[in-house]
Structure 1
Amino acid sequence: MCQLLTYDLICCHSSQKWDYCAESQANGRIPCKSQTHRVVSYPTPPEFEPAPLCHRPECHFNRLDGVWNCCWCGKTHNTTGRCSGMMIYQELTTCDHICCPFCERGTTRGCWGSR
C-alpha cells in the first residue's frame, strides 16, 4: 500500500512525500491503487525520517534564516514559523502571527528572550 505523507514544517508550510510500495508502477513513481494519506505534525515524531526543508521561494521564515522578529507584537528571536509572543486582549493569549514579508530578521535576544 502506497502512502502519501504530508509533513507540517517548522515554517508553517507543508511538504508532501510518497512512500511507494512494491505494487507501485513505473519504478516507484506512480502509486498503487491502494493509497493512504497521513499528516505528520511538527515536530516530526522519531519514527519518521526528518521532515524535508521548505522549498517554497516565498517562504519568509527561510529567507530570514529561521530567526525573526514579529511585526505584530514585537517579540524578538522567534525560531518557528508562528510567533509565540504573549498578548493580552480580553485574556492572555499567544500572538500566533505567521512569519510574513513585514517581519524582520531576528536580532539577538531582546527583552522578550526566547520563550
Structure 2
Amino acid sequence: MCQLLIYDLICCHSSKKWSYCADSQSSGRIPCKRQTSLVVSYPTPAAFEPAPLCHRPECHFNRFDGVWDCCWCGKTHNTTGRCSGFRMYYEPTTCEHICCPFCKRGDQGL
C-alpha cells in the first residue's frame, strides 16, 4: 500500500512525500490504488525520518534564515514560522502571526 506523508514544517508550510509499495506503477512513480495518507506534525516524531526543508520561494521564514521579528506584536527572535509573542485585545492572547513579507529578519546572535 502506498502512503502519502504530509509533513507540517517548522515554517508553517507543508511538504508531501510519497512512500511507494511494490504494487506501484512506473518504477514507483505512480501510487497504487490502495493508498493512504498521514499528516506528520511538527516537531517530527523520532519514528519518522526528518522533515524535508521548505522549498517554496515565497517562504519568508527561510528567507530570514529561521529567525525573525514579528510585524504584528513586535516580538523579536522568533525561531518557528508562527509568532510566540503576546498581544493584548480584551485579554492577553498569543499572537500566532505567521512570518510574512512585512516582518523583519531577526538577530542570529541571541
Work out the percentage of aligned pairs sharing the same amino acid. Answer: 79
Following TM superposition, by how much is the alpha carbon of 1:92 offset from its aligned partner in structure 2, in angstroms?
A: 1.8
* 1:71 aligns to 2:68 (yes or no): no
Query: Are 1:30 and 2:30 counterparts?
Result: yes
RMSD: 0.9
In 2, Cα distance between equivalents of 1:21 and 1:46: 22
Alignment of 1:1-115 (within 5 A): 1-107=1-107, 108-109=109-110
Unaligned runs of at least 5 residues, structure 1: 110-115
Equivalences, count: 109
Aligned-partner Cα distance in 2 for 1:91–1:46? 37
- Which letter does structure 1 place at the counterpart of 2:96? D
Aligned AA (2:29):
R
In 2, the alpha carbon distance for the partners of 1:101 and 1:19 equals 34
Q: Structure 2: which 5+ residue stretches go unaligned?
A: none
Q: What TM-score do the two structures reach when normalised by structure 1?
A: 0.92
| 4+ long deviations beyond 6 Å | none
TM-score for the superposition, normalised by structure 2: 0.96
Matches of 1:97 and 1:81, distance apart in 2: 8
1:89, distance to aligned residue in structure 2 (A): 1.2
Shift of the alpha carbon at 1:27? 0.7
